[in-house]
A = this chain, B = another copy of it.
Amino acid sequence: MSNAVALTEGQFNWIYNTLSFGLISMIACTVYTLVSQPRVLPKYRKALVLSSMVTFIAGYHYWRIFNSFHEAAGDGYSITVRGANNAFNEGYRYVDWILTVPLLLVEAIAVLALAKEVASSLTTRLVIASALMIGLGYPGEISMDNNTKILWGVLSTIPFLYILYVLFRELGASLERQPAGVAATVGRLRLLLIGTWGVYPISYMFPLFDIGATDAFVWRQTGYTIADILAKCVFGLTIYKIARMKSAAEGMKDE
């Protein structure tokens, strides 16, 4: 098994620009949600500032991933992926997710402004499940052995399915208590969350498909980056939209 992935010039440039796109999307989204704080009622600002923190943390990690990718290429287009201290560090993604995924879930709960006991119980269960999901995925991500990859992938899928179940079954009930017009957007938020989260397991599995290590690497980096932009930036902007709608429904003037 090789310690490097030999990219073409086009593949190298594609990943390089995709990572840069992810980086600036996260940072711009952070600034946007930070300066938009006064445009929602104070009770919804927790959701907004959590979104800023998610994209801020992700922006930091994309800056690190971008630099790591460049350094791992040395003078050419072959990316060292292990066996050297400047190897491409996939660990940044897992450090990012272990911080941002629980925050994303708390952000979604915060914008719904549920009763305190309901919110607290949901938070505990979703945060624990998300930590398990990411922690169990990592040994499979870094393993070179397909059986190991599948084993940890399956273990990681159990809390993943539990999160989907909670979001659909229990958050669904809260939809009925939302003001008119908001319920539809909250419904779309839940679909966005579930739809984009589905990209992660698919990207995780690319090395298992019979497409060669190079293509698997290109597709995995592309898939993770697009999923991160959808799950963090687009998700955060949807949270902002919901907060604006609920603020307006609760009498906030915008003149």
Contact present for B24 and A57 (CB under 8 Å): yes
Contact present for B85 and A76 (CB under 8 Å): yes
Q: Please, what's the 1-or-0 string for A82-96, where 1 marks a CB less than 8 Å from any CB in chain B?
A: 111100010110110
Considering the complex, give the chain B residue whose CB is closest to the CB of A91. Answer: B17
Chain B residues with CB under 8 Å of A99's CB are: 21, 24-25, 28
Chain A contact-residue range equals: 35 or more
Chain B residues with CB under 8 Å of A24's CB are: 57, 60-61, 95, 99
Interface segment among A38-46, A171-179, A201-209: the answer is A38-46
Chain B residues with CB under 8 Å of A43's CB are: 254-255
Interchain nearest-CB distance for A119 vs B (Å): 14
Any B CB within 8 A of the CB of A49: yes
Count identical subunits in the complex.
Answer: 2
A70 to B49, CA, bound (A): 32
Q: Is the interface of A mostly helix, strand, loop or mixed?
A: helix
A43 to B76, CA, bound (A): 51
Chain B residues with CB under 8 Å of A16's CB are: 89, 91
Chain B residues with CB under 8 Å of A25's CB are: 99
Interchain nearest-CB distance for A136 vs B (Å): 17
A52 to B84, CA, bound (A): 36
Contact present for B35 and A35 (CB under 8 Å): no
Within 8 A of B (CB), among A31-87: 31-32, 34-37, 39, 41-43, 45, 49, 52-53, 56-57, 60-61, 64, 70, 73, 75-77, 82-85
A91 to B15, CA, bound (A): 11
A-side residues, CB < 8 A to B, are: 9, 12-13, 16-17, 20-21, 24-25, 27-28, 31-32, 34-37, 39, 41-43, 45, 49, 52-53, 56-57, 60-61, 64, 70, 73, 75-77, 82-85, 89, 91-92, 94-95, 98-99, 250, 254-255
